[in-house]
Structure formats: structure tokens, C-alpha cells
Amino acid sequence: MLDAHRGPWITVNSVRKAWEAMAAELDLPREREGGMKLIRRSMATLARKRIGEANWRQGELMLGHAKHAISDIYAIPDPADLGLALEATEAIIDDIQHVCPGAFYRAVTAEPQPLEAARTP
């Protein structure tokens, strides 16, 4: 579902469309009760406390709220450099998994499709 890209970025409309399809399928509460922004704000609040104010720039970059500098043209940013933000996110996911085992595990996956041999002329 997340198929609209602009370079390394996924478009907002693509994320929104995927979220709305998932929310409808799972019969989730709508905006303000359980929407993307509520989850995003909650995660940002939890992560900010774990990262700390001095390092919050990593969180801003990860959320897409901070622009890269001109020098980033020469020293290409790497998501792996957002170590504290990624670590905080993983720790929050681990906490959720601890309270709700299997929360991030798909019990039902797509049915396997038969492979077809490639035909050469």
C-alpha cells in the first residue's frame, strides 16, 4: 500500500490511504480517537522523554520535522545515524510487546502464489 515515493520519502497521501484502509479493515476508531496523528504524537512524546532534549534533533529528523543542512549534500545522511531515535522507538515497541505479546506479529499472511517458469523464446 505504501507505494507512492518521492526519492527516499513516502508521500503523506500514500501513508494516509494505507492507514485508512487498515483502519476500515480493523474497524478502528476514527481520527482524534485512534488516528495516525494520535499514535504519532504518543510515540513522539514517549521517544522524546527517552532521547532527552539535548538529542531531540534525531527525533525531529526521524519524524520528518527538521530539514537537512546544505552540508548534507556532501555528507549524505543515513537513517542508521539516528541511533538514539531508533533505539527509543525499538524500546517502545519492546514495551508494547511485553504488555501485549504478538502485537507486532502477523498471524495471517498472504497466500503463497505458485511460481511460473520463465519462458525463453
- Domain definitions of the chain by residue range: 8-83
Q: What is the percentage of the chain residues whose pLDDT exceeds 70?
A: 76
- For residue 86, give Cα distances in angstroms to 66, 80, 83, 89: 16, 8, 5, 5
pLDDT in tens, 70-93: 887 787 777 777 888 889 989 998
List of residues 6+ apart from 91 with CB closer than 8 A: 50
Q: What is the percentage of the chain residues whose pLDDT exceeds 90?
A: 10
CA distance 18 to 54: 34
**Sorting pLDDT into bands at 50, 70 and 90, what band is 43?**
confident
In the three-class reduction of DSSP (H, G, I as helix; E, B as strand; rest coil), residue 33 is classed as: coil
pLDDT in tens, 18-27: 888 878 887 8
pLDDT beyond 60 at 99: yes
> How many helices, marked H, and strands, marked E, lie in the chain?
4, 2
- Compute how many other C-beta atoms are within 10 angstroms of the C-beta atom of residue 58: 19
